[in-house]
Amino acid sequence: MIKVAVLDDEKMYLQRAQRVSEEYFEEKGVACKIETFQNPEWFLLGIKDEVYDIYILDVEMPGKTGLDVAREIRRLYPEPIILFVTNYMDYAVEAYEVNTYRYIPKSLLEEKLVQAYETLLPKIQEQEEKHYVIEKRSSVEKLSYADIYYLQKDGKYVIIFHRGGESRVRKPLTEVYEELNSGEFLMIDKSYAVNIRHIMSFKDHVLHMRNEVQLPVGRTRLMQIKQAVAEYWRQK
């Protein structure tokens, strides 16, 4: 299911975006969930409760602007697609900060939103979300790869740090790393593996992660990690 959040302080544009979205995905036979929000402050309060595939944001709103909201989305989630709808087309420089996919003039909302969906739908459908499953005696825990920040060796255990907190699994770090079996995870030291999508900066042999943790990179892995991070950022 594709999830879309629409934020606009004007109800008319919310309804138009919702209608266009629902009609488009229904025609394509794709299950969707479209949610609309008028108040950016309320929207930001619940931003951690649910992640959407696409955010459609009005740029000009009282209080928090669409750019403010986009910065908070990017702080938490690097993957979602952000579309700006606006009557003003002079925000291009600021939009680079939040990796905006496209600007849509409100006067051309129906036409341009459909065009954006036509380009985006194949990309979203290609992204099959992966999960890591932790089996315990009395429970089973399922962690989305996208939610995992990093892994740390702790004696006979591995601690997995993720958006929901921490999870422990009684296995060697190398075994968990192999089970993840994904190029987005990097072994940066004998005690740490990180999710490359959550690296915010790399300076002086230290990775600064999205959850504000700093992790050291082993000397023998320094060039390998530097090249991998640079290549990932170039692709983005």
The fold for domain 131-235 equals: OB fold (Dihydrolipoamide Acetyltransferase, E2P) (2.40.50)
CATH code of the domain made up of 2-126: 3.40.50.2300
Domain ranges of the chain: 2-126, 131-235
pLDDT digits (tens, 9 = 90+) for 37-72: 999 988 988 887 788 889 999 988 888 888 889 888
**pLDDT at res. 199:** 92
pLDDT digits (tens, 9 = 90+) for 93-140: 454 455 567 788 888 999 999 999 998 888 777 665 688 999 887 889
**Cβ 146 vs Cβ 76: under 8 Å:** no
pLDDT bin (cut points 50, 70, 90) of residue 88 is low
Dihedral (C-alpha) 60, 61, 62, 67: value to the nearest 10 degrees? -70
Q: What tokens were used for 157?
A: 């255990």
**pLDDT at res. 93:** 45
pLDDT digits (tens, 9 = 90+) for 97-110: 555 677 888 889 99
In this prediction, residues 169-189 reach a mean pLDDT of 92
pTM, two decimal places: 0.61
